Structure formats: C-alpha cells, structure tokens
Amino acid sequence: MLPSGRAHWSVYFTLFVQLSCCLFSASSSLMPAPLKALSPRLSRLVTLVPESCTSVADVGCDHAQLAGRLALRESMQRVYACDVSAAAAKGAATHIQNLPPVQKDKVSLLLGDGLAPLVAAGAQADTVVLSGMGVRSVFEILACAHAANGAPTVKRKQAKVKSQRGAWGYDYWTAYTPASMTNALGAVGVRRLVLAPWPPNFLPYQGLLHLLLRSGWHFEQQSVDKERGYHYITSVLCRSEPEQGRELEDGNTKGHENENGTLSLQHNPLYLSCADADAAAAAAAAATTTTATTGTATTTASTTGFGHDESDVLLWQDYLRAQLPSLHKRQLGRRLRDEQQPLMDAAGGAAAAPVFDLDAVVTAVESQLK
C-alpha cells in the first residue's frame, strides 16, 4: 500500500491532467478553423489581384473563400463580399466567422444585386472580381440600364433591346454599347476588373471584352486554366482614370471603334502570346537552319511578353479547339440566314444587323491552331 503522501500527489497529478485537457479542449473550440486549400481557379484569382491592392469587392462571392483569403494580406484594408443570394450569404457569413479576428474585421458582407449593395453602402473598392457567373450576368452587372444606386432597372432575361426582339440571328450581347456602361463603377472608384465568367463561351465573352476595350479599359493580364476538364479564362482590365459619375460616350473608344470585325480578338494577351510563340517557333526553326549551316548557337526565350509560358499557350489553343465547333455551327447558321434573307424580307421579318465579321473571327481563331 502506497504512503498517504504519495496518494495525495497522485490525485493532484490526475486532477492537473484532467484540467489541462479541459482547458485545451475549450481553447481549441475558440480557435478559428484552419483555412481550406483553394481550388486552382480561386488560387489564380488571388494571384491576379496585385499586392498593391488595398480594397476589393468580390461580387457573387458565394462561399466567400476568395474574400477570406484576400483579407489575410497585410496590405489589404477592406474586402467586400457581395451576393444576391441569401443562402449564399449565410454560408459566406459562416466562413467569415472562422477567420482570425484581424482578418475577419476587414471583411464586410453585403447582400444585393450586382454593384447596388456597394453603392448603397458608400463602399470604395479599387478592384472588383466577377467570377463563376455567366457572361450574360456580367453584362447585366457592368453594362445594363442602371438606376442611380447601381441597381439594374431591367430585369434578367428582359435586357434585349425592343427593336431587336424577334430578330433572326439576334445575339443579346451585340445590343450593348459604351454608353451602356454603368456609372456605378465610377461611383465605387473601380480601377481594375478581374473577370472569370463561366462558362467562357467564346463569342459573348469576346463581345464583353470588346465592349470594355471600347469603353476606355485596357488589358493588364489574362490567364487560362483547366480544372476538372473545364476551361477558365480570367481577364484583368484596368483604367488609369475612372470616369467619376458619368457614362462614357460611344466615341471614346480608344482606337477600337473600327475593330468590330474581329471583336478586338487580337488584343487578348493570350492571343498575342500564342502569336508570339508561333513567331518564336518560326524564328527558332530558322535559327536551327542557320546553326546547321554556320554552326552558330542561338537561344530563344521560354516566356512571352505577358509572362505566359508554353503550357499557357497550349491550354489557350486547347480552349480555342473546344470552342471552334460552335463557331463553325454559328458560321453555317449565318450563311443559311443570308441565303433565306430574301424570303424573310418578303414576309416582313426583321434581321439583326451583324456587328462583327464571323468569318474573320473564325479565321483568326484557326490561325492560332496551325
């Protein structure tokens, strides 16, 4: 039998261990949950928001994982997580609550449609991220009829111009002009747009980028990713002097007014990088011939002017290859429409005037796949 003194110490030690376990369990329950690893798509969005950015709005934030990750940056002062869905906002609130206190205080969760909650809150954000939504939704947010508070005055699925309704061959995105651009962007102080619509259907997406280029924006970067078999094209556009409180006139197109034919496709950084890669390959082939003749060694750069490497170019070509069948189908449909146009005219039907040269677009795309 143990002496009484030792028995007391054994009891004290047992109580100490139990109390320590209770305290550890309580402290663990109060600690923020560890951050989940981001998907490649969201990781790309994080990298495309520059470190110099101090305020960002994630419109259509869904689970707010992107907003939470950006809030971890020391340079980030304010992050707005916006969504039109109350269910999504509830999930976002749960995620935000699990952030460390310092980061959690940086995030403001706003419920509302498009840019309207930012305008209503008097928010200022130099960067707006629009990802995961369809191209049409991006049009409705950036280039639809808006009230003074930034809310769309035209309901979804009703954004077609009345004169174009029933027009044969109508494309909803062709109705938008630089004058359609919302003044909410200027009111919020937006200088950078990070766009990653999904699915990135080629013609509407290029129509959106063409509209922004004509409205005084310019490309800063562009990336292509493939996740679970799907392509994601992320475009970053900037403007150095936002138009505060007024819409741009149709004439302020910064050199893109005569590029309706190819929808400014040749200004896409990925398009340029692919063209540069083709030129570099041709130069390398010529250099190889020269080397074989003269014995002079040459080297070529592995990246393009926008920092894209060979894998980026191959993924871009893979995306174009996937989009080409729908372009060919559209091309055939337009030819059939042109053949039957006299019948439509005789019947009094309306035809939508094409604002781009589909044959030129297809030729430009096919040139990237040679």
- How many other β-carbons are positioned within 10 Å of the β-carbon of residue 177? 17
Residue type, 118: L
Residue 114 has pLDDT above 70, yes or no: yes
For the residues 254-269, what does the mean pLDDT come to? 75
Query: What would the two tokens of residue 20 be?
Result: 């320590």
CA distances for 203 relative to 47, 83, 217, angstroms: 26, 26, 19
| Longest CA–CA separation in the chain, Å | 114
Instruction: For residues 322-350, give the mean pLDDT.
Output: 75
Contact between 188 and 57 under an 8 Å Cβ cutoff? The reply is yes
Segment of 6-15, 78-87, 233-242, 259-268 carrying the highest mean pLDDT: 78-87
- Residue 29 or 198, more confident: 198
Q: Where are the beta strands (DSSP E) in the chain?
A: 55-59, 78-83, 107-111, 127-131, 192-196, 218-227, 230-238
Cβ atoms of 328 and 231 closer than 8 Å: no
Q: What is the pTM of this model?
A: 0.79
Alpha carbon separation from 150 to 121, 129, 154, 238, 325 (Å, rounded): 11, 16, 12, 20, 38
Q: DSSP class of residue 45? A: H
Query: What's the pLDDT band for 269 if we cut at 50, 70, 90?
Result: very high
Yes or no: say if 216 and 179 are a contact pair by the CB < 8 Å rule. no
Average pLDDT over residues 309-336: 93
Cβ contacts of residue 123 below 8 Å, gap of 6+? 57, 78, 80, 108, 110, 117, 188
Domains in the chain (CATH in brackets) are 40-257 (3.40.50.150), 270-367 (no CATH)
Position 340 confidence tier, pLDDT thresholds 50, 70, 90 = low
Scored b (16 or more CB within 10 A) or e, 52-62 reads ebebbbbbbbb
